[in-house]
Every structure is written in C-alpha cells, then in structure tokens.
Amino acid sequence: MILQLNQTALLFIQLLVMLRVFAVKPEENNRVMLAFRGDPVTLTCNISEKNASQISWTNSRSVFQYSIQLNRTFSNFSSNRLKITPELPTKLIIVSAQPEDEGLYTCSITDLDGLHTITWNLTVSENPEESISSKYFTFILPSAIGFLLCGITLAVFFYRKMMMRTLNQDPVQDQFPPHSGEEAAHSQPQGGTALCTNNKRSSQYMERLNLIYGHF
C-alpha cells in the first residue's frame, strides 16, 4: 500500500513537471564528451539546486528521478557500471565506459523558474595504446610460438641423434681385443708350462748320456 502511494506521488510530480515544461521553455545546454573504453566517466549537472524540487537523469533506455520534496527515488537503470546516488543526485558516474554506453545523457533540474537541462553526447572509442598493444601482441604471438616449436623440434632431433650414436658405440667397444697386459697375463702360464717341459726333457737326456758313457 505504501509503495503504491509513493508511485502515485511520483506520477503526480511528473505530471506537474510536464505542465511546467509546457508552460515554461526549458533552458538547454548541449555538450559533447569523448571517452576511451574502460575509462571512468563522470557527468556533473552543475545547475543550481536552489529551490529545486526534482532532479532527473535520462538516456535512451533508462530514467532516474529524485524528488527532493518527498525524498523519494525512482530508477530503472540496470547497469552495474552506472551509478547515481540520492546523496549526490547531480552526478552520474560510469565506472568503466563501454561502447554500449554511448548516447545522449540528459540531466534535468526543476525549480520555481522552470526546467533546466544539460545534455551530453557521449562517444566511447578504443584506447589507442591498447589497440596498438593488441595488434603488436597478435603479430608477435604466432611468430614466438613458431620459433618455440622449431626450437623444441631441433632439441628432440639432436637428442635422438646423440642417443643413437651412444647405442652404436657400445657394441664396438665390446669387440675390441684385450689389452696387452691381459694378453701377457693369459699367455704367461702357457709359456711357463712349455719351459718346464723342456727343462725336464733336457734333464732326462743328460741322465741317459751319463748312463751310457758311465759303462765305459
């Protein structure tokens, strides 16, 4: 019930404002504002609030109305980036401007002298630095990825080549003949055995000679 009374009061105030608009020619002030995407934007309605009864903000889609007499607010602004507070209704703040925020913004203050308005034509463009950085990044990234892939491919190729060379060298080392020291170690027992056999045979031959010549 209270909500319906508040809405009825606001509608009544709007009708009074419309009647005053038709009765008194509004004072208009048109301005142009340029902003870069992502920048904060503040629109200040620097019109005297003395004897003001209502402050309104409108754009092509939404409306904000604050009744000073009733201390009531009506708003259908749905963007979280757009802020208007009853504590400071003469300022409209866009936290981070985007291309969809472009358009006309009108502030209207109603007082005993009539309706006073300021209109901003807001244009949001790309940030030149971000645009250049984006193009540079888009150009450099594919080249960097290409160099990285080439480096990885070469590293894998050389690694596999070194592994194949290592595997091929191992069987060759096993086929090498033993060192001279090992030959001497293996051949020395055979030479010693032959020498002992020869000495034994010579001793037996001398014994036979002594037996033969001993009989004479």
The answer to whether residues 38 and 49 touch, using CB atoms and an 8 Å cutoff, is no
Of the pLDDT bands very low, low, confident and very high (cuts 50, 70, 90), residue 39 is: very high
Q: Which residue has the higher pLDDT, 105 or 6?
A: 105
Residue 184 has pLDDT above 70, yes or no: no
Q: Which residue has the higher pLDDT, 87 or 179?
A: 87
The answer to whether residues 123 and 34 touch, using CB atoms and an 8 Å cutoff, is yes
How do residues 122-162 score in pLDDT, each as one tens digit?
Answer: 999 998 765 455 555 565 767 778 778 888 988 888 888 88
- Tell me the two tokens of residue 149: 């892939």
pTM of structure: 0.50
Task: Report the mean per-residue pLDDT for the chain.
Answer: 75
Of the pLDDT bands very low, low, confident and very high (cuts 50, 70, 90), residue 18 is: very low
Residue 9 has pLDDT above 90, yes or no: no
How do residues 74-126 score in pLDDT, each as one tens digit?
Answer: 999 888 899 998 888 999 999 999 999 999 999 999 998 889 999 999 999 99
Other beta carbons within 10 angstroms of residue 167's beta carbon come to: 9
Other beta carbons within 10 angstroms of residue 111's beta carbon come to: 17
The answer to whether residues 90 and 55 touch, using CB atoms and an 8 Å cutoff, is yes
Of the pLDDT bands very low, low, confident and very high (cuts 50, 70, 90), residue 49 is: confident
Phi, psi angle pair for 54, to nearest 5°: -155, 145
